[in-house]
Amino acid sequence: MADNAGASLHTPSRHAEVKQQDERGIAGGDSAAISERVNNRSLRPDSPAFRDFMKQGWAEESSDATALESSKFTPARLKALGAQFPGERIVIPAGVAKVRNNDCDYPYRPDTTFAYYTGLGQDFEAGAVLVLEPTAADGADHTPVLYLHPRADHSTRDYYRSSAYGEYWVGPRPGLDEFTTMTGIETRDISQLSDALAKDVGAGQGGIRVRVVKEADPSITSMVETVREQNGFDDPASNDADDDQLHEFAATARMLKDSYEVSELRKAIAATHDGFNAILATLPKAVDNEHGERILEGAFNAVAREEGNDVGYGTIVASGAHAPTLHWMRNTGTVAKNDMLLIDAGVEVNSLYTADITRTFPVSGHFSPLQRRLYEAVYKAQQAGFAAAQPGHTYSDIHHACMRSLAESLHEWGILPVPVEESLKPEGQQHRRWHACGVAHHLGLDVHDCAEARYESYQDAKITPGMVFTIEPGLYFRDNDLLIPPEYRGIGIRIEDDVLMTENGPEWLSKPLIPSAPDEVEAWMAGQAA
């Protein structure tokens, strides 16, 4: 494996340490610092003859670019953002790669707010920063400017020296002009960012206030904080409140999906359907295999990489007693023939929009009478949630409808220790022992999208056409639960689908492709096994 490519474009990094060592032409002897010794393996030639030789004999590598489909939709998003903060400079970093271990990083994914306002979804722009500059006299309009590192092609020394963005290491990437073509946003060299952030900042008359999405890139946040402190904005609490307000607005803005976003979500759901097909086709190989859960995880994740960017979140493959664990992601279990198998998975397409689907299968291909009874209760609860999901209703309405249905089933089976109405009261909630989580959340660029929004803008807000969300009730009977009959223990069931709210009411996005009614599930499994 070559040196990792995911370093910041504007701050010193472990890759910079490699570069510094190479310039000295030494490996770092016994007295070298630990930070230097870690790169002893990575000596690179740097003689004058080598440098001269590396300038010669390279053909041009294409970096052609065309306008992204998203570029038709980002201007409206940017205009709404600027109007919310008139006269202020808004700073939205893409973020940098995160360390996995030592000098290896996780695959890079840009920050969600950056992706939403630029339309960029690939890994070309680590370290980039989007800045909205106030331009009109009244501050009501802004000009977006994208700052990033220019191409390090064969005409530059960084071509072969920079493992972060040298094209010898990471391959051809778009240049500044190409990014402008792709996004429709003016693009400048990242070296100009510091001066741009500081220009005309001041707490007095005519001065500009600066806000930053502070969680995305600590080095950019630090840069902004320094600029603010030096120009009269020296109250950390006030600055934090400003930044939180920016992040909150950006999250709330994503609640209403435009037609491009809905189209991308449909693509993600279609790819997720293919991933579930791959799981079912692989199921015979996984049954009774020591690594059965991971075999199925691998089958889904391969489709995610083939048809999209990656998985949208860690794939949950939970067989038998693992299924009642809400976020079981170890996937270390054996899949037994009589188990119920809970799969929670979603493909993230190249635009970074993700599906979020859960299905629970009888491994044998047919529900036992008990399994079917429990499954049908969850299915009924989901239908109740869908019926409650109407324009003008709230997420809380969806939740309460699902909870009432589940509580009624639990009472019917003799499991709920109190009457249904008593359990449903805020001071009761005994039914939540078997469903302690929520049943709905926004979906989009993040699997739990818009999470930075306030409660009154989320759970307590009116459901509006353009919202995309999940409905995911379940029943979770842990194998150590002594308050339920033994035959219920170790069974977990969740059914989760993605829903688009329209002017005419809710539309299932996923159910037409991915069966969920019990008879349909059995038929689906039989078809994939054939």
DSSP letters for 460-510: TSBP-TT-EEEE--EEEE-TT-TTS-GGGTTEEEE-BEEEEEETTEEEESS
Q: For 284-317, what is each residue's pLDDT tens digit?
A: 999 999 999 999 999 999 999 999 999 999 999 9
Confidence of residue 32 (pLDDT cuts 50, 70, 90): low
| Percentage of the residues of the chain whose pLDDT score is greater than 90 | 83
Domains of the chain: 69-253 (3.40.350.10), 259-529 (3.90.230.10)
Beta-carbon contacts of residue 285 (< 8 Å; ≥ 6 apart): 295
**pTM summary value:** 0.92
Give the tokens for residue 200.
């005309």
Crossing angle of helices 218-230 and 236-253, rounded to 10° = 130
Q: What is the mean pLDDT of the segment spanning 188-201?
A: 96
Q: What are the backbone angles phi and psi of residue 70, rounded to the nearest 5°?
A: -65, -25
Computed over every residue of the chain, the mean pLDDT equals 91
- Residue 375, pLDDT above cutoff 90: yes
Nearest CA among 348, 334, 341 for reference residue 290? 334
Confidence of residue 2 (pLDDT cuts 50, 70, 90): very low
The percent of the chain in helix, strand and coil, each rounded to the nearest 5, is 40, 15, 45
Query: Which range in 99-103, 458-462, 500-504 is most confidently predicted, on average pLDDT?
Result: 500-504
- Residue 194, pLDDT above cutoff 50: yes
| Measured distance CA(315)–CA(344) in Å, rounded | 6
| Measured distance CA(494)–CA(270) in Å, rounded | 20
Confidence of residue 165 (pLDDT cuts 50, 70, 90): confident
- Residue 21, pLDDT above cutoff 80: no
For residue 76, how many other CB atoms are within 10 A of its CB? 10
Give the tokens for residue 188.
């400048």
Q: Which pLDDT value is given to residue 123?
A: 81
Rounded alpha-carbon distances, angstroms, from residue 304 to 335, 337, 354, 443: 22, 26, 10, 17
Confidence of residue 244 (pLDDT cuts 50, 70, 90): very high
Q: Is 172 exposed, middle or buried (0-12, 13-18, 19+ CB in 10 A)?
A: middle
DSSP letters for 353-373: -B--EEEEEETTSS--HHHHH
Q: What are the backbone angles phi and psi of residue 473, rounded to the nearest 5°?
A: -70, 165
- Residue 22, pLDDT above cutoff 50: no
Nearest CA among 148, 195, 498, 474 for reference residue 323? 474
Instruction: Please identify which residue in the block is written with the tokens 């320094």.
Output: 226
- Residue 13, pLDDT above cutoff 60: no
- Residue 6, pLDDT above cutoff 80: no
Higher pLDDT pick, 15 / 166: 166
- Residue 12, pLDDT above cutoff 80: no
